[in-house]
Amino acid sequence: MRPCLKTRNIIENVIERIRIKYILSLWISEIMDKRHFYILNNKIRIPAILWIRIPAILWGKQSEKLLIEVHGNLSSKEDTVISMMAQKAVEKGYQALSFDLPMHGERVDEEYACIPENCVSDLAAIYEYAKSLASDIHLFACSMGAYFSLLAYHDLNIKQSLFLSPIVDMERIISKMMESFQVSEERLKAEHEIRLPNGQVLEWNYYCYVRENPIRFEWKVPTAILYGSDDKLTELDEISTLADRYQSKVKVLEHGEHYFHTEEQLKVFDKWADENLL
Protein backbone atom coordinates (compact mmCIF):
# COMPACT_ATOMS: atom_id res chain seq x y z
CA MET A 1 0.00 0.00 0.00
CA ARG A 2 1.35 3.42 -0.93
CA PRO A 3 1.43 6.08 1.80
CA CYS A 4 -1.07 8.90 1.39
CA LEU A 5 0.17 12.25 0.13
CA LYS A 6 0.12 13.80 3.63
CA THR A 7 2.16 10.93 5.10
CA ARG A 8 4.62 11.05 2.20
CA ASN A 9 5.08 14.81 2.70
CA ILE A 10 5.76 14.30 6.42
CA ILE A 11 8.36 11.62 5.63
CA GLU A 12 10.02 13.85 3.02
CA ASN A 13 10.14 16.77 5.50
CA VAL A 14 11.78 14.57 8.16
CA ILE A 15 14.37 13.30 5.66
CA GLU A 16 15.11 16.87 4.53
CA ARG A 17 15.56 18.02 8.14
CA ILE A 18 17.99 15.16 8.82
CA ARG A 19 19.92 15.96 5.65
CA ILE A 20 20.20 19.67 6.51
CA LYS A 21 21.32 18.92 10.09
CA TYR A 22 23.96 16.42 8.87
CA ILE A 23 25.42 18.77 6.26
CA LEU A 24 25.36 21.67 8.72
CA SER A 25 27.13 19.66 11.45
CA LEU A 26 29.92 18.63 9.05
CA TRP A 27 30.33 22.20 7.80
CA ILE A 28 30.45 23.73 11.29
CA SER A 29 32.87 21.11 12.63
CA GLU A 30 35.32 21.92 9.86
CA ILE A 31 35.36 25.70 10.20
CA MET A 32 34.67 26.59 13.83
CA ASP A 33 36.16 26.12 17.27
CA LYS A 34 33.56 24.25 19.28
CA ARG A 35 34.07 23.22 22.91
CA HIS A 36 31.71 21.02 24.94
CA PHE A 37 31.76 21.48 28.73
CA TYR A 38 29.51 21.92 31.80
CA ILE A 39 28.37 25.02 33.67
CA LEU A 40 27.47 24.53 37.34
CA ASN A 41 24.28 25.87 38.89
CA ASN A 42 24.62 25.66 42.67
CA LYS A 43 21.59 27.83 43.44
CA ILE A 44 19.09 24.96 43.36
CA ARG A 45 19.62 21.77 45.35
CA ILE A 46 17.73 18.54 44.86
CA PRO A 47 18.08 15.30 46.87
CA ALA A 48 21.15 13.15 46.09
CA ILE A 49 22.59 15.82 43.75
CA LEU A 50 25.22 18.26 45.00
CA TRP A 51 24.72 20.71 42.14
CA ILE A 52 23.17 21.00 38.69
CA ARG A 53 25.48 20.44 35.72
CA ILE A 54 24.35 22.25 32.57
CA PRO A 55 25.77 20.79 29.32
CA ALA A 56 27.00 23.68 27.19
CA ILE A 57 28.95 24.55 24.04
CA LEU A 58 31.22 27.50 23.38
CA TRP A 59 31.37 28.33 19.67
CA GLY A 60 34.33 30.32 18.33
CA LYS A 61 37.17 32.12 20.04
CA GLN A 62 36.81 34.36 23.09
CA SER A 63 35.62 37.87 22.29
CA GLU A 64 34.34 41.00 24.02
CA LYS A 65 30.91 40.12 22.54
CA LEU A 66 29.11 36.92 23.53
CA LEU A 67 25.78 35.60 22.28
CA ILE A 68 23.75 33.44 24.68
CA GLU A 69 21.54 31.00 22.74
CA VAL A 70 18.42 29.48 24.32
CA HIS A 71 16.64 26.69 22.43
CA GLY A 72 12.94 25.81 22.44
CA ASN A 73 10.83 22.80 23.36
CA LEU A 74 11.95 19.36 22.10
CA SER A 75 15.20 20.94 20.95
CA SER A 76 18.79 21.16 22.19
CA LYS A 77 21.99 23.21 22.28
CA GLU A 78 22.94 21.92 18.79
CA ASP A 79 19.60 22.36 17.03
CA THR A 80 19.75 23.59 13.41
CA VAL A 81 18.83 27.22 14.09
CA ILE A 82 21.09 27.31 17.17
CA SER A 83 24.02 26.06 15.08
CA MET A 84 23.24 28.47 12.24
CA MET A 85 23.04 31.44 14.59
CA ALA A 86 26.29 30.41 16.30
CA GLN A 87 28.03 30.35 12.94
CA LYS A 88 26.60 33.77 12.07
CA ALA A 89 27.72 35.17 15.42
CA VAL A 90 31.28 33.87 15.02
CA GLU A 91 31.47 35.39 11.53
CA LYS A 92 30.53 38.75 13.08
CA GLY A 93 33.19 38.56 15.78
CA TYR A 94 31.18 37.05 18.63
CA GLN A 95 31.66 33.99 20.73
CA ALA A 96 28.41 32.01 21.16
CA LEU A 97 27.25 30.01 24.17
CA SER A 98 24.48 27.41 23.85
CA PHE A 99 23.24 24.93 26.45
CA ASP A 100 20.58 22.31 27.15
CA LEU A 101 17.50 23.30 29.13
CA PRO A 102 16.29 20.82 31.78
CA MET A 103 14.95 17.55 30.31
CA HIS A 104 16.37 18.39 26.85
CA GLY A 105 19.45 17.29 24.93
CA GLU A 106 21.87 15.51 27.25
CA ARG A 107 19.50 16.11 30.18
CA VAL A 108 16.43 14.18 28.98
CA ASP A 109 16.67 11.59 31.74
CA GLU A 110 17.41 13.82 34.70
CA GLU A 111 14.90 14.46 37.49
CA TYR A 112 15.46 18.22 37.38
CA ALA A 113 12.18 19.32 35.81
CA CYS A 114 11.74 21.75 32.93
CA ILE A 115 9.67 24.24 34.92
CA PRO A 116 10.01 28.04 34.93
CA GLU A 117 11.76 28.25 38.31
CA ASN A 118 14.47 25.77 37.27
CA CYS A 119 14.90 27.25 33.80
CA VAL A 120 15.18 30.80 35.17
CA SER A 121 17.76 29.58 37.69
CA ASP A 122 19.76 27.85 34.93
CA LEU A 123 19.61 30.95 32.74
CA ALA A 124 20.94 33.03 35.63
CA ALA A 125 23.89 30.64 35.98
CA ILE A 126 24.50 30.85 32.22
CA TYR A 127 24.48 34.66 32.37
CA GLU A 128 26.97 34.73 35.25
CA TYR A 129 29.30 32.44 33.33
CA ALA A 130 28.89 34.55 30.18
CA LYS A 131 29.81 37.70 32.10
CA SER A 132 33.07 36.04 33.17
CA LEU A 133 34.00 35.76 29.49
CA ALA A 134 32.73 38.95 27.85
CA SER A 135 31.55 42.44 28.66
CA ASP A 136 28.83 42.69 25.98
CA ILE A 137 26.13 40.02 26.31
CA HIS A 138 23.62 39.50 23.49
CA LEU A 139 20.72 37.02 23.35
CA PHE A 140 19.12 34.69 20.81
CA ALA A 141 16.15 32.62 21.98
CA CYS A 142 13.52 30.39 20.36
CA SER A 143 9.95 29.55 21.33
CA MET A 144 9.69 28.78 25.07
CA GLY A 145 13.38 29.68 25.37
CA ALA A 146 12.35 33.26 24.63
CA TYR A 147 9.69 33.07 27.35
CA PHE A 148 12.21 31.84 29.94
CA SER A 149 14.72 34.46 28.77
CA LEU A 150 12.23 37.29 29.27
CA LEU A 151 11.57 36.00 32.80
CA ALA A 152 15.26 35.59 33.65
CA TYR A 153 16.91 38.56 31.93
CA HIS A 154 14.43 41.44 32.05
CA ASP A 155 16.44 43.27 34.72
CA LEU A 156 19.95 42.36 33.48
CA ASN A 157 22.32 44.09 31.10
CA ILE A 158 21.60 42.57 27.68
CA LYS A 159 22.78 44.58 24.66
CA GLN A 160 20.40 43.06 22.09
CA SER A 161 17.91 40.21 21.74
CA LEU A 162 16.74 38.21 18.74
CA PHE A 163 13.62 36.06 19.17
CA LEU A 164 12.47 33.30 16.81
CA SER A 165 8.81 32.25 17.24
CA PRO A 166 8.71 33.50 20.84
CA ILE A 167 6.17 32.21 23.34
CA VAL A 168 4.82 35.31 25.08
CA ASP A 169 1.64 34.08 26.78
CA MET A 170 2.26 30.69 28.38
CA GLU A 171 -0.94 30.92 30.42
CA ARG A 172 -3.05 31.06 27.25
CA ILE A 173 -1.27 28.02 25.80
CA ILE A 174 -1.84 25.97 28.96
CA SER A 175 -5.46 27.14 29.24
CA LYS A 176 -6.15 26.10 25.63
CA MET A 177 -4.58 22.71 26.30
CA MET A 178 -6.77 22.27 29.38
CA GLU A 179 -9.83 23.25 27.37
CA SER A 180 -8.96 20.84 24.54
CA PHE A 181 -8.69 17.91 26.94
CA GLN A 182 -11.56 19.06 29.18
CA VAL A 183 -9.39 19.55 32.25
CA SER A 184 -10.80 22.08 34.70
CA GLU A 185 -8.76 24.26 37.04
CA GLU A 186 -10.43 22.51 39.97
CA ARG A 187 -9.32 19.08 38.74
CA LEU A 188 -5.76 20.21 38.02
CA LYS A 189 -5.51 21.81 41.46
CA ALA A 190 -6.77 18.63 43.11
CA GLU A 191 -4.56 16.21 41.14
CA HIS A 192 -1.52 18.54 40.84
CA GLU A 193 -0.26 16.71 37.73
CA ILE A 194 -2.19 15.25 34.77
CA ARG A 195 -0.62 13.38 31.86
CA LEU A 196 -2.53 14.02 28.63
CA PRO A 197 -3.08 11.52 25.77
CA ASN A 198 -0.65 13.50 23.58
CA GLY A 199 2.20 12.93 26.05
CA GLN A 200 2.17 16.47 27.48
CA VAL A 201 1.89 16.92 31.25
CA LEU A 202 -0.21 19.59 32.96
CA GLU A 203 1.14 20.74 36.32
CA TRP A 204 -0.72 22.91 38.81
CA ASN A 205 2.42 24.64 40.14
CA TYR A 206 3.59 25.42 36.58
CA TYR A 207 0.18 26.86 35.73
CA CYS A 208 0.15 29.01 38.87
CA TYR A 209 3.65 30.32 38.15
CA VAL A 210 2.90 31.47 34.60
CA ARG A 211 -0.39 33.02 35.71
CA GLU A 212 1.41 34.98 38.43
CA ASN A 213 4.34 36.00 36.19
CA PRO A 214 2.95 37.35 32.89
CA ILE A 215 5.34 38.99 30.40
CA ARG A 216 4.39 42.58 31.24
CA PHE A 217 7.51 43.91 32.94
CA GLU A 218 10.04 46.41 31.64
CA TRP A 219 12.30 45.21 28.80
CA LYS A 220 14.64 47.91 27.47
CA VAL A 221 16.68 45.58 25.26
CA PRO A 222 16.64 46.37 21.49
CA THR A 223 14.74 43.38 20.10
CA ALA A 224 14.03 41.84 16.69
CA ILE A 225 11.44 39.08 16.20
CA LEU A 226 10.97 36.54 13.39
CA TYR A 227 7.50 34.99 13.32
CA GLY A 228 5.64 32.61 11.00
CA SER A 229 2.08 33.49 10.00
CA ASP A 230 1.01 29.84 10.46
CA ASP A 231 2.34 29.63 14.01
CA LYS A 232 -0.16 27.52 15.98
CA LEU A 233 1.22 28.36 19.44
CA THR A 234 1.52 32.15 19.45
CA GLU A 235 -1.11 34.45 17.95
CA LEU A 236 -0.05 37.39 15.77
CA ASP A 237 -1.85 39.82 18.08
CA GLU A 238 0.31 38.59 20.98
CA ILE A 239 3.45 39.26 18.94
CA SER A 240 2.12 42.69 17.95
CA THR A 241 1.32 43.55 21.58
CA LEU A 242 4.81 42.50 22.67
CA ALA A 243 6.40 44.47 19.83
CA ASP A 244 4.40 47.59 20.67
CA ARG A 245 5.21 47.33 24.37
CA TYR A 246 8.96 46.89 23.80
CA GLN A 247 9.36 48.78 20.48
CA SER A 248 10.58 45.63 18.76
CA LYS A 249 11.07 45.00 15.03
CA VAL A 250 8.93 42.17 13.68
CA LYS A 251 9.35 40.22 10.45
CA VAL A 252 6.47 37.90 9.51
CA LEU A 253 7.16 35.00 7.16
CA GLU A 254 3.97 34.18 5.27
CA HIS A 255 3.07 30.50 5.75
CA GLY A 256 5.99 30.12 8.15
CA GLU A 257 5.45 27.70 11.04
CA HIS A 258 6.32 27.88 14.72
CA TYR A 259 9.22 25.49 14.12
CA PHE A 260 11.47 26.80 11.33
CA HIS A 261 12.89 23.70 9.62
CA THR A 262 12.28 23.69 5.86
CA GLU A 263 14.96 24.87 3.43
CA GLU A 264 12.92 27.98 2.57
CA GLN A 265 12.27 28.84 6.23
CA LEU A 266 15.95 28.40 7.12
CA LYS A 267 17.00 30.67 4.24
CA VAL A 268 14.70 33.40 5.58
CA PHE A 269 16.03 32.79 9.09
CA ASP A 270 19.65 33.03 7.91
CA LYS A 271 19.00 36.33 6.09
CA TRP A 272 17.10 37.74 9.08
CA ALA A 273 19.93 36.76 11.44
CA ASP A 274 22.49 38.41 9.19
CA GLU A 275 20.48 41.62 8.97
CA ASN A 276 19.66 41.90 12.68
CA LEU A 277 22.63 40.59 14.65
CA LEU A 278 24.59 43.75 15.36
- Superfamily grouping for domain 34-168+217-276: Alpha/Beta hydrolase fold, catalytic domain (3.40.50.1820)
Residue ranges per domain, the chain? 34-168+217-276, 170-214
Q: What is the CA radius of gyration of the chain?
A: 19
d(CA 101, CA 124): 12
The mean pLDDT value for 87-103 works out to 97
d(CA 176, CA 196): 13
Considering only CA atoms, which of 147, 93, 96, 146 is closest in space to residue 278?
A: 93
Question: How is the chain split among helix, strand and coil, in percent rounded to 5?
Answer: 45, 20, 35
Please say if the pLDDT value at position 24 is more than 60. no
Average pLDDT along the chain: 90
β pairing state of 136-142 and 65-70: parallel
pLDDT of residue 42: 86
Please say if the pLDDT value at position 3 is more than 50. no
Task: Using pLDDT thresholds of 50, 70 and 90, give the confidence band for residue 89.
Answer: very high
d(CA 93, CA 65): 7
pLDDT of residue 83: 97
Whole-prediction pTM = 0.87
The mean pLDDT value for 34-55 works out to 85
User: Do residues 85 and 273 touch, judged by C-beta distance below 8 A?
Assistant: yes
Helices (H) and strands (E) counted in the chain, each on its own, are: 9, 10
d(CA 248, CA 128): 26
pLDDT of residue 44: 72
